[in-house]
Amino acid sequence: MLPRYLIAAVTAGLVSTSVAQAQDTYVAGVEASFPPWAYVEEGEFKGIAIDAMRAIAEDQGLDVEFRDMPWPSLVPALAQGRIDLLVTGLNVTPERAEVLDFSIPWWENDDEILVASDSGKNMIDVLCCGATIGAQGGATQYQWLEENLVNRDGVDVTLRGYEDYVVAIEDMLTGRTDAVVTSTDTAEEFISNGRPVTIVGTIQQNQPQALAVQKGDPNELLASLNRGILNIYASGQWEEIVHEYSPQASIRAIPTAMPGYVDSYQEPIPGYSE
């Protein structure tokens, strides 16, 4: 007679294979060095975007597996179909809207100007007149600084790009840059982790954030994602997840502002308009 645990294991194995065969597994690309949105702690994917994606997947009966890739690789990997969706604190921008389709936006962010706490600098000191500013290369903050400060006559700032914000902050603390400009969530994360940095100013951006899928949505994921986002928002699960990682954050009404340049925000929006 077979031991009971063995039977149980075999049955569980059969059940899980049949479930796996019944539906495709979608690969969600994440950049796991972006707390509080997506990161890895003790071998586990964590963060607002990760937990929310898990909740959406459960709500919509999707099978999603996470794959970590460095930030500069994520958008090309999605554009090429190497991953099926992008799950992180992803800002909606016109450039990205050309190569990706966005879900309805679930968050809005501003940018914060961070300086070393002991530097005594104010926002004018660090955004003008020979100052050096750090930001993540390719991030919306980097582009904003480039367009509005670097390329403008008479401002005279130097912009440095970093692979991620941890390194950018570290470089500022050693005195190589005067300030770092990052999103509100990231700035608060640094402060709550006890890094000696201070916010000296906020750049009001009302920057929407969303999930993204391949352009044209070949896997028809948008409808499920949008429905899932609305469901977890309505059930209060979204608020719980956000506050687990970011207790002070105020919850925005979903969807937040939907910029007109995004194709997937033209009516009818799958999973939302109907």
Residues that bind other proteins (CB under 8 A): 29, 32-35, 39-43, 46, 67-70, 73, 76-77, 80-82, 164, 166-167, 169-170, 189-190, 193, 195
Question: At closest approach, how far in Å is the CB of 81 from other proteins?
Answer: 8
Residue 25 backbone phi and psi in degrees, to 5: -95, 125
| Spacing of C-alpha 138 from chain mean position | 14
Question: At closest approach, how far in Å is the CB of 18 from other proteins?
Answer: 24
C-beta closer to other proteins: residue 60 or 188: 188
Question: At closest approach, how far in Å is the CB of 159 from other proteins?
Answer: 22
At residue 189, the 3 state secondary structure works out as: helix
Tell me how crowded residue 138 is: count the other CB atoms within 10 A of its CB.
Answer: 15
C-beta closer to other proteins: residue 110 or 171: 171
Structure tokens at 93: 């921008």
Cβ atoms of residues 65 and 26 within 8 Å: yes
Question: At closest approach, how far in Å is the CB of 72 from other proteins?
Answer: 8
Which of 60, 53, 95, 47 has the alpha carbon at shortest distance from 75? 95
| Spacing of C-alpha 272 from chain mean position | 21
